[in-house]
Structure 1
Amino acid sequence: MILWMKHLACCLGHTHCRRVSQQVLHGHGTIFALSSGHGRSGVAVIRVSGPSTSESLRQMVRRIPPPRKAVLRRIYFPQSSEAIDKGLVLWFPGPKSFTGEDCAEFQVHGGPAVVTAMLDALAELPGFRHAEAGEFTKRAYMNEQLDLTEVEGLSDLISAETEAQRRQALRQMEGDLGNMYMTWRRRIIKCLANVEAYIDFSEDENIEDDVLDHARSEVQVMIEEMKGHLHDNRRGERLRSGVRVAIIGEPNVGKSSLLNALCQRPAAIVSPIAGTTRDVVETALNIGGYPVLLSDTAGLRETGDAVEKEGVRRAIERAEQADIKIILVDASKFSSAYTNCDVDKFVRDHLYDLGVMGGTQHDDNEAERLMPDGGDAVQPEEDRQTLLVVNKCDLVPSWTPDFPPGDVATATVSCTTGEGMEHFINLLAERVKRGCGNPLSGNPSLTKARHRHHLTRCVSHLESYFSVEQETDIVLSAQQLRKAARELGKITWKISSEDILDVIFKDFCIGK
C-alpha cells in the first residue's frame, strides 16, 4: 500500500498527491524540536508542528493563546502539573504557518535544564515525537508553503557566512529563482497546448493556421533565454561554495607569508628553508563580503624528493582548479627579468617555467586560456582572473615598477612591512566580486548543480522539438515539450522520486 501511494504521488505530481505522500511518509504525528542554537543562551525557542499542537498548549499552558500573538504564560509538565518556566507562547493555526500545519513556539529561558525539561514534557504527550533534521521545512514543502528552490535558498541562508551569500540566498528563498523557472514552465505548457490543439482540431479547420509558427517562435525565444541563464560562468554556484584562490610560485617567494597576512593569523608555517610547504594549506576568508577559499601551495620546482614532488603535483592541480590564480614572484628576480614592459609575456613565460601550462614548448592556445587578455579564449571571464603579485619590494627600494595600463592586474607588496597590501586586497576583492557578480542585479543565478542538470536537459528537449516538428512527427514534437516541462518541474516541486527529497533535506539542522 505504501509503495502504491508513493508511486501515485510520483506519477501525478499535484497538490493532493504531495499531501497524500506526506501523510504516508510521516503519518499524522506531531513533531517538536529546539529551533534555536544549542548551549546556554538567554532565550531558547522550541517549535511544535502537527495536528495535536493545540493539545500541547492546553496541557502545558492550560489554554490556547490568540493566534499569532505572543503571550507570557507559565508552562507546566503535562502529568505532574509542576511548573517548568515562564515564557512567551505563540500559536499559529494552519495553514497560515511555516509548515502549513498547526504550529506553536515556546520561547523559554535558554539554560540546558529548562530546554531539557521542555523537550521531556513534550515527549510525554501521546503522538508527539522529536523532529528529524529538516522535517519542519520538509513539511512546509509537502504542504506547498515552499517549493524546492525556496527550500534550498533557506538552507543556504542558514549556512551563509558572508553578506553576498546572504543576499543571494534570501533572494532565492523569497522565490525569485523558482518563479523564473515556473514562468518558463507555463510558457512551455502553453506551447504544448497549442501543438495538441493543432493535432486534435487542424483537420476540422477550427484552429488558426499559424498556431505552430507561434509555438516554434516561443520555443526558440525560451531556448535563448535558458542558454543565457546557463552560460553564467557558474557565478551563483561559485558564490554559494566560495571562490577558489590559489597562491602559486617558486619556493621562498613568500606564499605562506601572503596567506598569513590575508588571514591575519599564522595559518601556514613560514621558514627560510625552501620546500617547507609540502601540502595544500587551505583557509576560508571573507573578502569584501564574498566567500573565498584561499590555498597556499608547495613551491614549484624540479625535485627528487618524493614527498615534495607530490606537493608540487597537488599545487599544479590546485592552480588548474582555481577560479583566481595569484602568481607570486620575488621582487629582486622580477626587477631584473622585467625589462620590456610586457607583463603578459612575463606571466606566460613564468607559468611555463613553473610547469603550470604543461607541454614541452610554449603553447599560444594554452597561454590564451590561462592569461587574462588571451584573445578569443573559451572562458574569457574566468581567464581574466589572474593576478601577478611582486613580493619583497622592501628589499629593492630603488626599483619603482611602472606597469603600463591594460596589462595583467599587478600589485607590489611586502609581506614583512605590509607595504602595498591594501592595494592588493582591493584588487583581489574586485576580482572576486567580478567572478561572483552582484546577487541582487539581473535575473537570479543558478546555485545548484541539480538546477543546471535539469535545465540543460530541458534545453535539449526544446531543441529536439525543432528536429521532429514536422507534419508526420507532430505527436513526437509534443512529447519533447512534455519532457521539457517535466524537467523544469523537477527543479521546483513536480519531482519523480522521493529520493531527491532525502538529498535536499539531509543537511538541515534539527528544528528546521
Structure 2
Amino acid sequence: MFKNFLQISNTLLGAHFRQHSTIFALSSGQGKCGVAVIRVSGSCTELALKCVTGMSRMPPPRTAILRSIKHPVSQETLDKGLVLWFPAPRSFTGEDCCELHVHGGIAVVNSILDALASVPKLQLAEPGEFTRRAFYNGKLDLTEVEGLADLLQAETEIQRKQAFLQTQGALSKLYNKWKDNLVKSVAHIEAHIDFEETETIEEGVLDEVIVKVEELSKEIQQHLEDGRKGELLRTGVKTVILGEPNAGKSSLFNLLCQRPAAIVTPIEGTTRDILEVTLNIGGYPLVLTDTAGLRSKTDDVIEKEGISRAMQTYKDAELILLVVDSQKYVQWVHCSSSRNVVDYLKHYIKNLGLNNLVCEENQDFDNIFTKNCIVVFNKLDLVKEQLNVEHHCQIIQLSCKHEEGVVNLVDSITNKLKFLCGEPSAEHPSMNQMRHRQHLIKCLEYLNSFLTTSTSDTVLMAEYLRKALRQLGQLVGTITTEKLLDVIFKDFCIGK
C-alpha cells in the first residue's frame, strides 16, 4: 500500500512540477515550410525571450516586432523573425507566453529549439501540454478542448464547421446552462430540507424544483435523440457497397475513389477481402467499403470468408449502396409477369441474403428499406432500352465504364449524408463524443429517479440531483480526473 501511495504521490508531484514549469515546442507543422511558429509558455517565458533576442525589456503585448534570434550560450545569430509577447492571463494558456515566427527550414527550427533548451528551467512540451494548461487555467472547458482536437483532425468542410463551433463554446454553453439550472434546483431543495419545519422559506419551492427538473429532463432527452448526427459527422458515415458478384461494385468503388483502389476483372468473386477508404463527399466524411459479391452457394473457402465479412460490414453500416446489374434487371422484366421495380429489388435482395434490408409488406419504394439505401443500376452502357426507373429518386442509373450518372450519384449520396449528419449550428449543437452521451444518459437516469421518488423523501431526491449534477460537471470538466484528461489529450500533437 505504501508503495502505491508513493507512486501516486510521485505522479501528482510530477504533474504539479510540469504544470508550473516553462515549456516550449514547435507549434506549426513538421517539415519544411515558409514560416515556423515556436511557442513558449510559463513563468520563465520573459527570461527565455530576453535570452534569445537580447532585449532588455519586453515589447508591447500582442505586437509583432522583428528581431534577431541568437543562441544564449554562443551568441550566434540563428535567424531573423517576428517576436510576439502575450503576458498572462491574456494568452492561449493563461500563462505568460511568447511566439517566435521564424523561417521554416528544419535546421533553423532545430537550432532555435536547441537555443531554448539551453535556457534554465525550460523544457520541451509534451503532446497537448499547451492545451492542457489552457484547460487548467480556465481558458477552455473539456468540450472546447475536444473541439480543438477535432478541428486539428478535421478533413472535410462540415467536420471543420462542427469542430470550430465546439471550440467557440456551442456545446459548453448548452451544458453549462443545464448545470447552472441544476445547481439552483439543488440549492432550493437543500434549503427546503433545512427550513421545511420553519416559516422562513416560501411555499411551493419543491413543486417549482420538480417542474424545473421535468423541463431539464425533456431537454436532455431531446438532445440525446439526435440520431447520433454529431458522432457520425465526426467519425464518418460507414457506407458499404453491396451486390451480387460481378455487378460492378469494385468499379463503383474505384469511380468514387477516383483511383484504382480495387482490382477489377470480369471474373466473378475477384474481391475477397474488405477494402475501406475515407472520402470527402459534399463536405461530409464518407467511410466507403467495398465487399465481396454476395451469393448463397460457393465452394471457395476464401470467398465464403469474404461473404461473411461483407455481411458483418453490412450490419454495422449506416448507408448502403446496393449495386444492380442493369442487364439482369432487363432480362427479369422480359421474363416476369411483374414490371414493378420494387418486386425485382425484393427478389434481388432475398437472393443476396439481406432479408432484413426490406419491409416485405411495403410496396412504397421510398419506405421499403430498413436502412438508408441508394440503389445503383450499373452497366447502363450494356443496356439498349429504357429501364423505366426514372421516377424513383433513390435509384441511380450508372455506367462506371463511361462515368455516366456519376453527378447524380454524388448528389444522392450528399443528400443522404446531410440527412444522417445534419448541418452544424450554434443554435442546435450536436454532441459528437460517446463520452458526452454516456454522461448525459447517466444524468437523465438520476433526474428520472428524482422525479419518481416520493416527495416525502426529500433527502433522497436531493441526492439524485447531486448525482445528476456530478455527471454534468464531469461532462464540461469542472469535475475530472487525470486519467480522463490523459485519454482526451492522447491524440494531440507536440506544440498544441
| TM > 0.5 | yes
Answer yes or no: is 1:348 the counterpart of 2:342.
no
* Unmatched segments (≥5 aa) in structure 1: 9-19, 375-379
Deviates more, 1:438-447 or 1:236-245: 438-447
Query: 1:466 maps to which residue?
Result: 451
1:453-481 deviation per Cα after TM superposition (whole angstroms, max 9, x unaligned)? 0000000000000122421x110110000
Query: Aligned partner of 2:288: which letter?
Result: L
- Equivalences for 1:192-203 in 2 at 5 Å? 192-203=186-197
Asked if 1 retains the 8 angstrom alpha-carbon contact of 2:320 and 2:371, the reply is no
More displaced, 246-255 or 56-65? 56-65
Which residue identity is paired with 2:351?
Answer: D
Match of 2:131 in 1: 137
Report the equivalent of 1:175. Answer: 169
Instruction: Describe the superposition over 1:260-279 as per-residue Cα deviations: whole angstroms up to 9, x where unpaired.
Output: 11111101000011111001
**Matched residue type, 1:349:** H
Equivalence for 1:476: 460
- Provide closer, same or farther for how the CA distance between residues 415 and 209 of structure 1 changes in structure 2, counting only shifts above 3 A: same
Corresponding residue for 1:13?
none
Moved runs in structure 1, 4+ residues, more than 6 A? 1-8, 20-23
The alpha carbon displacement at 1:425 in A equals 1.2
Structure 1 residue 5, shift from structure 2 partner: 13
Are the equivalent residues in 2 in contact too, given 1:341–1:404 (CA < 8 A)? Answer: no
Partner of 1:415: 400
Aligned-residue identity in percent:
47
**TM-score, with structure 1 as normaliser:** 0.90
Structure-2 change in CA distance of 1:151 and 1:431 (3 Å): same
2:261 maps to which of 254, 260, 267: 267
SS at match of 2:203: coil
Superposed, which structure 2 residues align to 1:47-446 within 5 Å? 47-63=39-55, 64-301=58-295, 302-338=297-333, 340=338, 342-357=340-355, 364=359, 373-374=367-368, 383=370, 385-404=372-391, 409-440=394-425, 442-446=427-431
The superposition leaves residues 159-200 of structure 1 with CA deviations (integer Å, 9 ceiling, x where unpaired) of 111000000000000001011001001111111111111111
Letter in 2 for 1:166: R
AA at the equivalent of 2:18: H
Kindly state the Cα deviation for residue 4 of structure 1 after the two structures are TM-superposed: 9.0
The superposition leaves residues 205-235 of structure 1 with CA deviations (integer Å, 9 ceiling, x where unpaired) of 2222211111111111111111111111111
Contact 1:5 1:21 in 2 (8 A): no
Displacement of 1:25: 5.3
Contact 1:67 1:91 in 2 (8 A): yes
Aligned residues of 1:194 and 1:212 also touching (Cα < 8 A): yes
**Letter paired with 2:332:** A
Aligned counterpart in structure 2 of residue 507 of structure 1, from 483, 486, 491:
491
Contact 1:5 1:24 in 2 (8 A): no
Contact 2:318 2:371 in 1 (8 A): no
Query: Which residue number in structure 1 is paired with residue 33 of structure 2?
Result: 41
| Other structure's SS at 2:75 match | coil
Q: Distance in 1 between matches of 2:355 and 2:223?
A: 31
Alpha carbons 2:189, 2:205 under 8 Å: kept: yes
Q: Secondary structure at the match of 1:204?
A: coil
TM-score w.r.t. length of structure 2: 0.93
Q: CA RMSD in A?
A: 2.4
Out of 425-434 and 342-351, give the one that drifted further: 342-351
Tell whether the 8 Å contact from 1:2 to 1:24 is kept in structure 2 after alignment: no
Structure-1 residue corresponding to 2:473: 489
Instruction: Output the CA distance in 2 between the equivalents of 1:509 and 1:73.
Output: 28
